[in-house]
A and B are shown apart, each in its own frame.
Chain A
Amino acid sequence: MAGQSSGSEELAVNESEVLKGHEGAVLAVRFNRDGNYCLSCGKDRTLRLWNPHRGIHIKTYKSHGREVRDVHVTTDNSKLVSCGGDRQVFYWDVTSGRVIRKFRGHDSEVNSVKFNEYNAVVVSAGYDRSVRAFDCRSQSTEPIQIIDTFQDSVMSVYLTKTEIIAGSVDGTVRTFDIRMGRELVDQLGHPVNCISLSNDANCVLASCLDSTLRLLDRSTGELLQEYKGHKCKSYKMDCCLTNTDAHVVSGSEDGFIYFWDLVDASIVSSFRAHSSVVTSVSYHPKDVCMLTSSVDGTIKVWRK
């Protein structure tokens, strides 16, 4: 897996571990907050906790009735939240591996789920064109807020301290500013598959289904850059920025991983990582380390 460009030294382009265990496609893989562990979920209806650096499978969480599409972990690593085909958001206890609560409310599959800064609210985005917020602190399983201004399936949701950002297939990235009480709609004109925030939280990277990544300035909604070359047309795929925000990473439907330079949008590196669609990419928050997951059932750990 040789990098093609000079910038490859800073990029995680060398395969260091392969995490095998999922039966069937792995749909998402995520680092935890400090990057020491990772969580994966997949078509086999399980969540798996790994130590990616040592390549160890730690725990399996089974309770989902259908495929699991997204998982997120609290900052203190004590709770998990996951969602998927069974229209519920599962709130897990990490150590016991039990489901604490199942948040219901979504009418359809749930595509994405996130904790907020204080781990008190779970925000989920679903195929039912809504974003719903659930309160972890109350016993209620009903949503405390429903945002249903979307016109189409909401693919991805992201939270900052004060905002809920969600990308939808209706071609919009919507920012719900809780502090200001307003909704900012950035129309991209193309279905948004995934959104990701830069580490300085100034930019939002939106992966669109026209095989283009678009980088938007969050304050103005201005289009900063477009990244092309990969293939993203029909699958839910992830994109992210590297730990230094210098590069943009995305998988491709042909099993490739692409690295672009953030500023001039040139492909810095691209290599075949998996035999099939790369469903998810996750970059270590601090180190040069990347996780990729694929339909082929493997999770790969990449380093420099």
Chain B
Amino acid sequence: MHQFGPDPWICGLVWAGPYSTQKSETRFVRPNLSCTHTRYPYPKPVSSGRTINKSFPVVSSLPCRLQPCFDFPLFAPVASPLYCISPPLSMADVDEEDYVYFGTPIEREEEISSRKRKAIAEPGTLRSLPPWKQEVTDEEGRRRFHGAFTGGYSAGYYNTVGSKEGWTPQTFTSSRKNRTEVKKQNVYNFLDEDDLKDIGGNTLETSMQYDTFGFTAAEFARKKAEEEQKKRPSAIPGPAPDEIVLPASSSIGMRLLMKMGWRQGHSIKDSNAESLSEIRREARKAFMALSGNKAEPDLSEKDADGTDVFPDMSIDALRNSENTPVYVLNPKQDMYGLGYDPFKHAPEFRDSKRLRESKSREKNRSKVHMGSLLSSNSKKYAPGFGIGALEELDVEDEDIYASGFDYEQTEVELEPSKAVSSSSGDRMLRLEHKKQGSLLGFKLASDSDYKLERFYPPAIPSNFRPIHKFAAPLDQTLKNYNSAPPPDAQPPEDPNLRLLIEGSAAMVARCGKSIEDLYMEKSKTNPLFLFLKSGAEGHDYYVRKLWENKQKFVDNMKPAEKLTAENRGRILGERPLASTTSGVNDVSVKAREVINTESSHGDTFTKPISLADLPDSAIKQFKHDPAKQERFEQFLKEKYQGGLRASGTISRTITSTMSEADRARERLDFEAAAEAIEKGKRTIQISAPSTDHTKDLLGFGEDRFVSSTFIENSETKMEETKVVYPRREQFEWRPSPILCKRFDLIDPYMGKPPPVPRPRSKMDSLIFLPEIFKSSNKEDAKSPVGNSLEASKSGLKEVEAEPSASEADVAPTSPKNVERPVDLYKAIFSDDSDDEEADAGPSLNQEPNPVKSSEGANKTLNRLVAGDFLESLGKELGLEVPPDSRPGPSLNATISLPEEHKSFKGGDDRDNMSLTKVKEKESKDYGSTLDSSREKKRSHSKHHRRRSRTPDSDPDSGSDSDSHRQHRSRSKKRRDRRDRSRSQDSESNDEAYTNRKERRKKHRSRHREHKKKDYGEKNSDKKRRS
């Protein structure tokens, strides 16, 4: 309204655009509508796309959606364009009133003030102003900047993107440091907040519809409810609790599931399984009720509570785990910190605690329980003092010195019968409680017709043995042959018959009765087999032969056939496995056996030993305790006769009065004793293990010092014959300097390099060696190596073996990861005026292949470091190390290097020499007073000697030049020459290259011309033809 574009028709266009629903637009479009009307019938705008583009490039950048919207009214009647744009119009209708005023509207004060601030101009006055002075404001009076998409008439400077000063592209930043970043632009960059407000409806939002578990929905509903709560006055003062206000909201998925019978907290599964388990549980309950003797641990109660504690618990647990967990509010009853679970690492105590709690709740504790409860609940802390409020109770706070009496008391509590008796009372009460509350308005009948009949399990006769005995041994048939040898018979005269009889007898003996039957059948047709019939000729002989053969066969077969695992074990001296000795050949047993063998491989191997040849004194180790002695003997018998192990029936019956722990302890004791006997048999010095071991343990409970060695003791003690204690070992140990100072001693490692960690294995020593080596490079080449050598000489056990041998081995390979000191680098790469430098340096620089050169440099470095190290080592050892005594492979490498690698060789030597120089500078104990030039000379000559040995060194340096100057000049000359030739070469090369290029270009252009010509000719031909 305030402003019109130069062409009102355009207004209409803008209006129809996708972003044109805004009020402010409608404002100034609206009065213009008549114009649009008049204009639409005009045929011209049909192809208007182009015209628009021409006149208003800004608009042309709009998405093409604009066009169809606009095209439509063109073929419609006059009114239709109106219709097309009617939706925004209808919205604008509300605002229309703004523009037709009668009287003066009463405006609110803040509105006035805000408008005043912006000096709002009346539309009329604004219109009178020149366009650049017209200022558009939004409804709040702020100056409104038109976005490019929504008009933009007052955008920028005179509707340009520039300013009064001109246009400067913002994206251009010319700075070395500030590189231009690729700016990502999207539509939103060009929208002001008003525009954004308009398209706000199109942004992504979460939908409640697919909120399956209703979390957000619930949250949302709660918030809403809260708001409502705030709005209206509630009957309950204060904020209502969430649980009350929370409206139920369930997602579609949930509702569907519910309709299908699913309930919250249940897993989605087939109900069949559920019912199955239900049935099973019921059956179990029934069984429990039937066999409900007191000795049964009261687990059924837990079952009734819903938590399953039964063998097939795993199944149930699995099923339960599928469920979506229902959050159950667990009232806090203990006094631990939030989230602290005292039974986190000992879940087995949780049950006992629960038991105790229920007991205390029911208040039917017996006297014993009272005591035990106290003692076990508060662990009996040491008397006389408490513990600070800020300290947690700890293990050390409990009274470890408590007498054994308390220990026994706790034992009493853990006894199953007591626990059950208490919990049975507990059960009764709970059941009662449950029954009373089971049905409202009903009372339990005092006497009912229905009585659960209980069947007690059948009484097992005392003489019943749960092992089946076969009436006759399985290999009875074989024994039959053993028992009655038939009388000897004369072989028949016919040798053929004899052979046949013997052969068939052998066959039958081997293959059994079936073959005989087969022969019998044959004999019906074949007279040859007549001997099979009793009474026939040769039958006696056959019988005899058969017996003989069978005997033989059995004799042969017995060891072979019977070489089962146990037999083999017996031969090899293995301890027989419990399950094999039971003699059951069941498949399932065998399967179990396999598992057993795997788990118990560790202790299956013992020396075969017979009880008989043991000295009596050895066996009678527990004389003071006849019962124990008996058990021990039983144990020995079992052990060496291959009976069932301690888990066997006999030992069980004997030790039934003992607790499981005691039995285990005793078993260990016996085991140790048995081993001692075994050992003692060899050494004839039997020392019985501490006989009162178990007594002690009973008296004072567990050992306070739990150490691995103590547990091992039982074994190590037995091995004492082998490993003699005490044993002395020596290690290097470094006291810290300050400690030495405080002890008023001289630091034995004063001024020596940092300690070498004690190597644990050969690998370690190998790993650590480069460290030594490094230090040797850094500080002085000698002392550390010497140190380690000295140390090795002084007999330090572990370090001893390695250094001299392995260092030499390792050094050539390892130095790659050794940090090289700076001086070394300097020595290699600095511009020394040395002649070698002059020789080698440039050639290095001029290396045509940079990759190769660096590789070579690395190689030389490695070699050099290794060589230097070896040299110093040799000096240390007092050996004469010839200067060219380098490891073979490296020498070979240098030899095999092609022409261009020769420079490395030179570099190498130079390095070596300069390194010696560095060494000389630094090492103090070296103390060489050689003057540097002499040193240089020496090394130089060394170098030459070495050089002359390399076979394909160029003749120039090969011919031994004595004076440095001469050498230098010569080498310089050579270098110059080489340089020059190379540069010339390159120049000529370049020339040739350019020449070639040009030639090629020419050729190509010529070729093109040819083609053109051809083409032209063809064309002309065509033309002519046409």
Q: Could you say which of A177, A178, A209, A214 contacts B726, with CB atoms under 8 Å apart?
A: A214
Question: CA–CA, A176 to B735, complex, Å?
Answer: 8
Partner of A178, one of B385, B696, B743: B743
Q: Across the two chains, which residue of chain B brings its CB closest to A121?
A: B742
Q: Does A44 contact B384, Cβ atoms closer than 8 Å?
A: yes
Residues of chain B contacted by A161 (CB below 8 angstroms) = 743
Contacting residues of chain B (702-730) with chain A, CB-CB under 8 angstroms: 702-705, 707-710, 713, 716-717, 720, 723, 725-730
Say yes or no: A120 contacts B396, CB within 8 Å.
Answer: no
Q: Which residues of A contact B384 (CB under 8 A)?
A: 23-24, 44, 297
Is the CB–CB distance between A253 and B738 below 8 Å?
no
Check: B690 CB closer than 8 A to any chain A CB.
yes
Are B710 and A189 in touch, CB under 8 angstroms?
no
Binds B, one of A8-16, A94-102, A144-152, A239-247: A144-152
Q: Within 8 Å of chain A (Cβ to Cβ): is B1002?
A: no
Contact B385 A171 (CB under 8 A): no
Q: Report how far A216 CA is from B727 CA in the complex, Å.
A: 11
Q: A14-54: contact bitstring with B at CB < 8 Å (1 yes, 0 no)?
A: 00000000011100000000000000000111000000000
CB distance from B834 to the nearest CB of A (A): 44
* B717 contacts across to A, CB distance below 8 A: 189, 210
B388 within 8 A of A: yes
B609 interfacial by beta-carbon distance below 8 Å = no
Tell me the complex Cα distance, A214–B726, Å: 9
Asked whether A276 lies within 8 Å of B401 as measured between CB atoms, the reply is yes
Interfacial residues of chain A within 78-134, with CB under 8 A of chain B in the complex: 85, 109, 116-118, 120-121, 133
* Proximity string of chain B (727-746) to chain A, C-beta cutoff 8 Å, 1 when within and 0 when not: 11111111110111011111
B729 cross-chain contacts in A, Cβ below 8 A: 184-185, 187
A178 touches B731 (CB 8 A): no
Q: Are B725 and A188 in contact (CB under 8 A)?
A: yes
Count of chain A residues near B, Cβ 8 A = 68
B contact residues around A118 at 8 Å (CB): 742-744
Q: Is the interface of B mostly helix, strand, loop or mixed?
A: loop
- CB within 8 A of B382: which of A43, A162, A211, A236? A43
Bound complex: CA A170 to CA B717 (Å): 14
| CB contact list, A141-189 vs B, under 8 A | 144-145, 147, 149, 151-153, 161-162, 169-171, 173, 176-189
In chain B, what residue has the closest Cβ to A275? B403
| B748 is an interface residue with CB less than 8 A from chain A | yes
A272: Cβ under 8 A from any B Cβ: no
For the complex, give the distance between the alpha carbons of A189 and B733 in Å. Answer: 22
In the assembled complex, A57 has its CB within 8 A of some CB on chain B: no
Find out whether the CB atom of A133 lies under 8 angstroms from the CB atom of B690: no
Interchain CB contact under 8 A, A210 and B713: yes
Tell me the complex Cα distance, A151–B700, Å. Answer: 26
Q: Which residues of A contact B401 (CB under 8 A)?
A: 25, 235, 276-277, 295
Q: Do B382 and A121 touch (CB < 8 A)? A: no
Q: How far is the CB of B721 from chain A (nearest CB, A)?
A: 12
CA distance A222 to B403 in the complex (A): 38
A223 at interface (Cβ–Cβ under 8 A)?
Answer: yes
Q: Give the CA-CA distance A211 to B728 in the complex, in Å.
A: 22
Question: B925 at the A/B interface (Cβ < 8 Å)?
Answer: no
CB contacts (< 8 Å) of B739 on chain A: these are 121, 133, 144-145, 178
**Closest partner residue, chain B, to A86 (CB atom):** B391
A42-71 vs B, Cβ < 8 Å mask (1 yes, 0 no): 011100000000000000000001110000
Do A209 and B696 touch (CB < 8 A)? no
A251 at the interface (CB under 8 A from B): no
User: Mask for B371-406, Cβ within 8 A of A = 1, else 0?
Assistant: 000000000001111001001000011011101000
Which B residues are CB-close (under 8 A) to A185?
A: 728-731
Contact yes or no, A189 B703, CB < 8 A: no
In the complex, B75 has a CB within 8 A of chain A:
no
Interface-centre pick from B388, B700, B726 (highest chain A CB count, 10 A): B726
Are the CB atoms of A177 and B738 closer together than 8 Å? no
**Which chain A residue has the least Cβ–Cβ distance from B796?**
A182
CB of B749 within 8 Å of the partner chain: yes
* In the bound complex, CA of A137 to CA of B742 (Å): 9
Question: Is A304 located at the chain interface by the 8 A CB criterion?
Answer: no
Pairwise interchain contact A191-B385, C-beta atoms closer than 8 A: no
Q: Are B743 and A121 in contact (CB under 8 A)?
A: yes
**Alpha-carbon gap, A221 to B728, bound state (A):** 6
Q: How far does the alpha carbon of A153 sit from the alpha carbon of B709 in the complex, in Å?
A: 11
Return chain B residues, CB-CB under 8 Å to A277: 401
Q: Give the 10 A-B residue pairs with the shortest CB-CB distance, closest first.
A: A23-B384, A221-B728, A181-B748, A183-B733, A295-B401, A189-B725, A169-B707, A234-B704, A234-B703, A183-B731
5 contacting pairs across A/B (C-beta < 8 A): A144-B742, A169-B709, A180-B748, A190-B713, A231-B696
Name B residues whose Cβ lies closer than 8 Å to a Cβ of A. Answer: 382-385, 388, 391, 396-397, 399-401, 403, 690, 696, 700, 702-705, 707-710, 713, 716-717, 720, 723, 725-736, 738-740, 742-749, 796
With A24-B384, A183-B730, A191-B705 already in contact, 14 other A-B pairs whose C-beta atoms are closer than 8 Å: A44-B385, A66-B397, A67-B396, A144-B742, A170-B708, A171-B709, A182-B732, A188-B726, A193-B705, A209-B703, A210-B690, A221-B726, A221-B728, A295-B401
